Amino acid sequence: MVVASNNKGKIREIKQMVQDISLLSLSDIGFTDEIAEPFHTFEENALAKAGEIYRFCGKNVFADDSGICANALNGAPGVDSAHYSGTRDDDANLQKLLANLQDKDDRSGYYKAVMCLLWDDETYFFEGICEGTIIEQPVGDGGFGYDPIFVPNGYDKTFAELSPEIKNEISHRGKAVRKMVAFIKEKLEETAS
């Protein structure tokens, strides 16, 4: 199965969680372009990414579209998280979010991930949400993207300070990936019986 992403942080986390299914990267299948994500919802972008790679290689494929949503900004940056500052630079994007939240009292927000799976000519979606607080200064050097400013509910550390195991257990991506893996295992068992 192919994982349709060039984002190293996402791929690292997905590989940590999906150990009994062998995953091919975009470079393994010889895909070297940027994948377009032109839409305004996570679902449409995840489908567009998975579809582009399916048309390229014809193999079962899944794509993750994800982002961070600040409640005081009506859900921004949301689907624009990867290029919020006009660049793909994680630090510039994080700084722009901090600047836009500077005068806001409501620091609540959430990460959302939507996985689109194209499996044997059918399309399936799996979603995960992780709620928390967007703090004022970056803390920690693990994770990627907005992790140094995101403290998940129930914890007093940012995703960049928590271990990868804890992040995967509670994160938006962890929740979506576990739903997808359970679904695939069920499908494989049905086929085997």
From the list 51-59, 98-106, 115-123, 141-149, the region that binds ligand IMP by CB under 6 A is 141-149
Does 62 help bind ligand IMP (rule: CB under 6 A)?
no
In whole angstroms, the minimum distance from the beta carbon of 101 to ligand IMP comes to: 15
| Ranges within 156-185 binding ligand IMP (CB under 6 A) | 171, 173
Do 173 and 128 touch, CB atoms closer than 8 A?
A: yes
H-helix or E-strand containing 131?
Answer: strand 122-134
- What mask of x and - would describe binding to ligand IMP in positions 13 to 52, judged by CB under 6 A? ------------------------x---------------
- Single out the catalytic residue among 20, 64, 65, 106: 65
CA-to-CA distance for 37 and 44, rounded, in angstroms?
A: 8
Name the phi and psi angles at 125, rounded to 5: -120, 145
CA distances from residue 150 to 9, 22, 119, 136, 171 in whole angstroms, order as listed = 16, 31, 33, 10, 11
Binding-site ranges for ligand IMP (CB under 6 A): 7, 37, 64-68, 81-82, 93, 111, 143-147, 171, 173
